[in-house]
Structure 1
Amino acid sequence: MTIKKRLFISNLLMLVIPAILGLIIVVVTMFAVMEISGTHDKIVFSLAIIIILVISAIILLTNRFLTRFVFKSIILPLDTLIYGVRQIRDGNLDYHIEYTGKDEFEGICSDFNEVAQRLLDSVNARQKDEVNCKELIAGISHDLRTPLTSIKAYVEGIETGVASTPEIQKRYLNTIKNKTLDLEHIVSQLFLFSKLDIGEFPLYLKKVDIGKELSNIVINLTEEYERKGLIITLTQNVKDIYVQADVVQLRNAVVNVLENSVKYKNREQGKMRIICETDDNYVAIKLNDNGSGVSEEALEKLFDIFYRTDPSRTNPSNGSGLGLSITAKIIEKLGGSIRAENVQEGGLTIIMMLPKYTEGKRS
């Protein structure tokens, strides 16, 4: 039995049962009066019939009015919810109920919208994971095939006697060694990313003075990256500000950004300015290079696995596209966030946000 029928029957019985009892009392009373007075006047009987008809009409009208009133406040919201459920069932996950009533259905409709939004987010996340999985397979295939093809070609060159002199053979073997190191690096990066992604990579967290740690990182890396054509300067720093971090992985996060700037610098001598500043709850580490920057569309994809601004991937020496993805995972595991911005004067800024550590807890 539907809710509508139940409400109708319930409402009808609430009116009819008291009315019937009232009519019985009226009829019994009238017959008692007639017996006591000894009169059987037709007028009295007719009057009783009229009273019964009037009461019945009042009952029916009242029932109709109350039924419409109750149905309007219950059935209409139920119809709205039913329509919303059918929209979700048919795949319209963007559908949201607009309910303006101030009653119990307001909370139900709000919960419906929240569930619909979560379902939409879940579907979007699954679709993004599927896309990332396809890109991952394509990226691995390409980045592994390129050095493997070179290794195969140079090995065949040695076997067939193309490398006929010791000098050529040594050059071939050095190339094979370098390509093997490239393969090892790609596999190691992929292993690290997968461990971070599934949460099986251990982080050794401790209270870290971020200003001192950042200074140490810059001091230790400055000479190495000058040889690679990137001048690093720490232009702004903080004092006595602490975060909870894994020092080794924090250094790796910074190194990945530096490597990215080296690979894509558009001049012989690139520059990297590092700024560390803080607000009430977070520490911001900004790494700003003077390269060519990226397109606005690419900003949203820089931290996707295997994404490179070289869409054709024609330059394997520019890396596997895993570095910034690993950096993003590291910062995420440390409870922070990361984003990229183009600099108006030219260049790209990577901003890493880490929660401050206060009174034994991360704020």
Structure 2
Amino acid sequence: MTAIRIENLDVIFGKNTEQSLALLDKGKSRQEIIDETGDVVGVNNVSLNVQQGEICVLMGLSGSGKSSLLRAINGLNPVSRGKLEVQDGDGMVDLASCDATSLRHMRTERISMVFQKFALMPWLSVLDNAAFGLEMQGISKSERRRRAMEKLEMVGLAEWKDKLPHELSGGMQQRVGLARAFTMDSDILLMDEPFSALDPLIRSQLQDELLDLQRKLNKTIVFVSHDLDEALKIGNNIAIMESGELIQHGKPEEIVLKPNTQYVKDFVAHTNPLNVLRGRSLMTPASALENLEDMLILNRHEGTRLNTNDDGEVLAARRQDQDLALQSWHQGDDLDRLSQTDIVTASPDISMRDALEIRYRTGQPVLLTEQNEGNKNKLVGVLSDQDFYHALLGKHFEAKLA
């Protein structure tokens, strides 16, 4: 179900909105509009849907419009034209046209925000900072503290509840900001570069914690970031913006493998493929494997070969004169159980990081299988060293070598 629906949205900063919108309709650029009216086009004709439980990451260079779009979702930036509908119960509220009472309801009941600057009250304890939003709702002190304490426990700050913000590290202060947003129990969470001011190690830890919390709470999150690796790590979908326009929107792997424009291609050129690419995008198809005496050759140099039946099921594997044990691997399985006498079958949706780990532990290519109509696990492809090298060298855009 759609949680946020944005249609043909424009956000203009300035006093000549109608004139600027007319210039936009004539195809004038952002700079031409500034020169003629003095207005700044923050968001230009953006349409975007965010589903319930999704993490959508807004990406772009400085001035691309990502924060302008985010702040429109809770009414901090007024909508100049278009629709911006947010789910409220069984219906949708259009923030572009709703009254002040409805906007206040959406801000206090439906939407919470986490800022880059922690925005903590320096005179309040950690616990009271986490409970602050509930105070604005008129919730009793005992109840709001009870709810806030639950969220502080979730982010690992229960023992710090009586401390003041200046007694906490930057990462801990940002955890308080997260706890405050989650304490509101809003279904929609807006996050404006919340981890960008933190050290890389702390930032990575908080990204992991956010994903853990999301698995438990299943919020709808719109997350602004300028860090592509961060976006690829946490986002279900990524929306890349340039000069106020939405250039490309899709799943992380789609954007990395099929950039729509040179701008997007340059944006993703130096990304870490371990964080986004999947086996299906990297594999050598089973149909391309060499067949010798009814055996599929995986590695001629090492003498590794497979025996399959007519349905494509892998029946046995050998390396020279040694039988290899077929092991099935699924997401979350213990990798420590694998050894050099194993060869592993996995889903084509396996991450490149997991596949590399399996390759390292077994010394063998990774076999990718999926169920066919007869519920048989058919071999569809193989991940060998060549496939990994192509991805690590950024050559996954190119056709694989024969």
* TM-score range for the pair, normalised by the shorter chain length: under 0.3
> Which protein has the bigger helix share?
1
Tell me which structure has the larger Cα radius of gyration: 1
Q: Structure with the greater relative contact order (CA < 8 A, sep ≥ 6): 1 or 2?
A: 2
Larger relative strand fraction: 2
TM-score by length of 2: 0.20
The normalised TM-score by structure 1 is 0.21
